[in-house]
Amino acid sequence: MSNMNIDNNVGALGITPPPVTTLGVQPNAPTLPAHINDSFDATTSAIFIANYGDNHRYIRDEERWLHWDGRHWNTDIKAQQLSDALEDMRNKLIANQSNYHLKEIAKKLANQRSLSQIKKHLESRNELSLLSYDCDSHEHLCALENAVYNTDTNQLVYDPVRIRPLFLTRRFPVAYSPDATCPSWEAFLRQIFCADEELIRFVQKAVGLSLSGKVLEEKLFFAYGSGANGKTTFFEVLNRIFGSFHQEIDSTILIKSKVQDQRLALENMANLRGIRFATSNEIPERATYNDMIIKQLCSRDMIAAKVVFKSVTPFMPTHKLWIRSNHKPLFNVHDGGMMRRICLVPFAYKVPESERIERFEDTLIREKAGILKWIVDGWKLYQKEGMKLLPESMKTALNEYAHECDSLKQFIEERYIIADYATTALKDFTANYNTWCKENNFRSSNARTLASELRAEGYEIAVGHGNARNIKGLGLIE
């Protein structure tokens, strides 16, 4: 049995929710407001709020309605649930033959213009209004199909009375079961990770991190490997499990280009609000990471984002970023901020053609309850162990990756000797380096940047005659 605690008390949520009235059980006769001789809008709204208000909320800054279905808050597409509730209210008012004013309201509600008018009025009522930051604002909570999970305490709360006032609109579309298993999923992981139990354990913890809305690790999880290695299946399954906590972002914002699309970057960042599991697919060959964007997306710092036709809105990040690709983007290995962020997860296995199963994710997703428990167990492993120690396979892969990206080191190894007696002019070194970069599809650099990187590697830059700068310890191979 799992060591998951089940607690329906408010303390299990780690917050104190506001009081709740009903659970949406609609009376046969509507509750009436104190004054029914007010305007049509005011009276009708008051009746609606008294009888149906607990189950409906309007998010003003996003101009959309939410509806409580008894267990979850859902976006009310085209306000259909609101319309149904108003229709139900009208039928009950018609049945109430004792009050002239109520019968008049019921007649008006049959008119489409009056119905649209009352919907508009309900949007302005403070009792029903929220702002987007009122929703999904508890970083330690995540809604599941049958409960809410507190990642701070590892407790589950099942009581809808306690869940409704939290306004959790994102959820895993999977019910938690402490006894669920996922033997096919675990066999799949052993296959694609070459039975490397240390690597599998790390991946489980890394995925488990996305249960929490807290950014506990400023990491970029980079899933790399050539085709037919299980990457696509792995992410397709997880994307389905994470449900509305998952968001795909455009890979073009993650790489450098001659013309950066700032609007696209801001819009993609806006889509990350409230997300726990962010993914991006396929980086072009020989592309270079946009260091600034990567650092911003893999950080605890506030993100500035923008929705079309709206102002820039900052928010605190909750996501963990995964990139999957058949190609390794270049990055500045001399930038400590990038080096400490990148976690290269090697997908080294190649599934034999005879063993490939079309849409294998559809088979694995049958174990969704067990996979959710695997993710929860990964979160608990992270709480216990952290992830400071990388598996040996990841260390090796990252070192190889860093060397492939280290154009300066490769250039020196090819063109220079390293000796105490040697010296070379920084100006000549820079010119030779940029020519080499052009030939090898690396980005060129300037003397100032190269001098800084050379010093970081332990080389001394001395000023000689005429203020010419020379690199000590390097000599051009003749």
Instruction: Please give the pLDDT value at position 257.
Output: 85
> What's the chain's average pLDDT?
90
Domain for residue 171, yes or no? no
Q: How many domains, in total, are found in the chain?
A: 3
Distance (Å, whole) CA 165 – CA 463: 68
Asked if residue 242 and residue 117 are part of one domain, the reply reads: no
Distance (Å, whole) CA 44 – CA 86: 10
Instruction: Please give the pLDDT value at position 116.
Output: 95
Domain for residue 255, yes or no? yes
- In this predicted structure, the answer to whether residue 37 has a pLDDT above a threshold of 80 is no
Please measure the distance between the N-terminal and C-terminal CA atoms of the chain and give it in whole angstroms: 70
Which helix (H) or strand (E) covers residue 322, if one does? strand 320-325
- In this predicted structure, the answer to whether residue 447 has a pLDDT above a threshold of 50 is yes
CA angle, 127 then 72 then 7, to 5°: 105
Lowest mean pLDDT: which of 13-22, 60-69, 97-106, 173-182?
Answer: 13-22
Distance (Å, whole) CA 344 – CA 420: 36
Asked if residue 380 and residue 262 are part of one domain, the reply reads: yes
pLDDT in tens, 144-197: 999 999 999 999 999 999 999 999 999 999 999 999 999 999 999 999 999 999
Q: Which residues lie closer than 8 Å to 274 by C-beta, 6 or more apart?
A: 135, 136, 170, 213, 245, 318
Which helix (H) or strand (E) covers residue 454, if one does? helix 447-456
Distance (Å, whole) CA 23 – CA 208: 33
What band does 237 get if pLDDT is binned at 50, 70 and 90? very high
Asked if residue 352 and residue 245 are part of one domain, the reply reads: yes
- Domain boundary among the residues 95, 118, 134 is at 134
Domain for residue 348, yes or no? yes
- In this predicted structure, the answer to whether residue 10 has a pLDDT above a threshold of 50 is no
Asked if residue 390 and residue 313 are part of one domain, the reply reads: yes
Q: Which residues form the domain of 116? A: 5-134
pTM: 0.88
pLDDT in tens, 374-423: 999 999 999 999 998 999 999 999 999 999 999 999 999 999 999 999 99
3-state helix, strand, coil split of the chain in percent (to 5) is 45, 20, 35
- In this predicted structure, the answer to whether residue 18 has a pLDDT above a threshold of 50 is no
- In this predicted structure, the answer to whether residue 308 has a pLDDT above a threshold of 70 is no
Q: Which residue has the higher pLDDT, 8 or 376?
A: 376
272 within 8 A of 319, measured Cβ to Cβ = yes
Domain for residue 189, yes or no? yes
% of the chain surpassing 90 pLDDT: 78
Asked if residue 390 and residue 415 are part of one domain, the reply reads: no
Query: Which residues are registered as beta bridge partners of 470?
Result: 425, 462
Asked if residue 363 and residue 220 are part of one domain, the reply reads: yes
Asked if residue 116 and residue 214 are part of one domain, the reply reads: no
